[in-house]
Amino acid sequence: MPLKIIRNSITLLKCDAIVNAANPTLLGGGGVDGAIHKAAGKGLLFECMKLGGCKTGQAKITGGHQLPCKYVIHTVGPKWRGGTNGERELLESCYRESLRLALEYGCSSVAFPLISSGVYGYPKDQALKVAVDSITTFLLEHDMLVYIVVFDRDSFRISEKLFVDIVAFIDDRYVGMDPIFSKTRRDVFDESTVLKTEEIFLPEEEDPAAFPPDFAAKEGKAAVPGSPDLKRGSQRSLEDVLNQEEESFSQALLRKIDEKGMTDSQCYKKANVDRKLFSKIRSNINYHPRKTTAIAFAIALELNLDETKELLLKAGFALSHSNKFDLIIEYFISSGNYNIFEINEALFAFDQELLGV
């Protein structure tokens, strides 16, 4: 199951467990700890008092009390002391131990704040990288939906070089008038990037054929066989078009997985797509994926740009230079970087929808 990065207060999330960046006393503090205790009510403090504290890198679990989640997992992150005092190992241990507890308590969804990245001073870009690496290592072996919740606009930092490269790539090719990519990274973040809790669960399926052609063009969707824009000016009869037996997206995807010598699970995990969605695609030859799902598979399969476009077309989509999302995808494919989590970090930084589920 996938990793999702969202912006919100962790106290609002309706998942099985949320993780608290606690201090060793487990008796509450500032930052996310204070927010969690405030929202959970006194019952959480009373339960924490019985736990006898927690060592750095370890984790303990309590009930959620007045929070919308079932459990709170309390973990104590390392204080940043220059980076050469085992900080990374301790931070990795926080994620590992918290996920181990979540598994033990049967959680299917868990949300993390960026542990240690506040008062404890861990540089936010490095804290994010440790979070993503630790969680994705865990997800290779286990099925769980994991959220990283970033709270303040500075929390989410892709490297300066990557940011500048993407801006340059887009500036060279972008045919729209929106000046957003001339702005500095700090300007790119505004309140509109905040995803509300209700938006966490997006609909899985959409049928591109259901969209009128102008909408399809705006959304970077390709013309669907049989749609009015395809028929205009075409000499072919409708019957000709319908008789043209084309491989569907689902068939093309399964063929490509075989050609690449991957297993299904290797592919959907690398695509950050969950198993249930993959089974739906596998069992329904006419499945219409969302564009972000189709691209996630192209990334997992490490398709080049032409192959990606070909696969997208099977799902009724195209990549266009008047769409920033498409340009960012094109940037990563052209640079041969198929790390979906890095791509998602960049999409997030540019306020775009993320790949996978």
Report the nearest approach of ligand ADP to the CB of residue 133 (Å). Answer: 17
Map the footprint of ligand ADP across residues 162-181, applying CB under 6 A.
none
Size of the site for ligand ADP (CB under 6 A): 21
Contact at 8 Å (CB) between 92 and 130?
A: yes
User: Site residues for ligand ADP, window 80-119 (CB under 6 A)?
Assistant: 113-119
Residue ranges of the alpha helices (H) in the chain?
Answer: 31-40, 42-49, 87-104, 124-141, 160-173, 185-188, 213-218, 228-231, 238-243, 249-259, 264-270, 275-283, 291-300, 305-314, 324-334, 340-349
- x-or-dash pattern for ligand ADP, window 290-329, by CB under 6 A? ----------------------------------------
Part of the chain binding ligand ADP (CB under 6 A), chosen from 100-108, 146-154, 158-166, 276-284: 146-154
* Pairing mode of beta strands 3-7, 71-76: unpaired
Closest distance between ligand ADP and the C-beta of residue 270, in Å?
A: 28
Sheet with 109-113, edge to edge strand ranges: 3-7, 145-150, 109-113, 17-22, 71-76, 59-63
Considering only residues 19-38, where is the footprint of ligand ADP by CB under 6 A? 21, 31-33, 35
Minimum CB separation of residue 119 from ligand ADP in Å reads: 4
Of 159, 123, 111, residue with least CA distance to 11: 111
Which residue, 186 or 232, has its beta carbon nearer to ligand ADP? 186
In Å, what is the CA distance from 130 to each residue of 10, 51, 55, 136, 277? 19, 27, 19, 10, 27
**How far is Cα 86 from Cα 83, in angstroms, rounded to an integer?**
7
- CB count in 10 Å sphere of residue 154: 12
- CB 341, min distance to ligand ADP, A: 18
Between 18 and 170, CB nearer to ligand ADP = 18
Q: What one-character DSSP code corresponds to residue 229?
A: H
Q: Say how far apart CA 349 and CA 321 lie, in whole Å.
A: 19
In the complex with ligand ADP, which residue's Cβ is closer, 9 or 58? 9
Q: Which is nearer to ligand ADP, 79 or 321 (CB)?
A: 79
- DSSP-derived letter for residue 338 is -
Tell me: does residue 217 bind ligand ADP (CB under 6 A). Answer: no
CB of 149 vs ligand ADP, minimal distance in Å: 5
Contacts of 237 (CB under 8 A, 6+ apart): none
Placement of tokens 């608290």 in the chain: 20
> What's the closest the beta carbon of residue 80 comes to ligand ADP, in angstroms?
9
- Closer CB to ligand ADP, residue 96 or residue 321? 96
Residue 73 makes contact with ligand ADP by CB under 6 A: no
Question: Applying CB under 6 A, does 123 fall inside the site for ligand ADP?
Answer: no
Question: Which of 77, 208, 289, 356 is in the footprint of ligand ADP by CB under 6 A?
Answer: 77
Query: Is the distance from CB of 347 to CB of 292 less than 8 angstroms?
Result: no
Binding to ligand ADP by CB under 6 A, coded x per residue (else -) over 236-275, reads: ----------------------------------------
Residue 173, C-beta contacts closer than 8 angstroms, at least 6 positions apart: 321, 327, 330
Helix (H, G, I), strand (E, B) or coil at 90: helix
Q: Report the residue from 71, 95, 138, 151 that binds ligand ADP according to the rule CB under 6 A.
A: 151
Which position among 3, 5, 6, 11 is part of the footprint of ligand ADP (CB under 6 A)?
Answer: 11
Contact predicate 344/300, CB 8 Å: no
Torsions phi, psi for 110 (to 5 deg): -145, 145
CB nearer to ligand ADP: pick between 116 and 227: 116
Judged by CB, which is closer to ligand ADP: 11, or 134? 11
- Tell me which residues are annotated as active site: 33
- Chain residues binding ligand ADP by CB under 6 A are 9-11, 21, 31-33, 35, 77, 113-120, 149, 151-152, 155
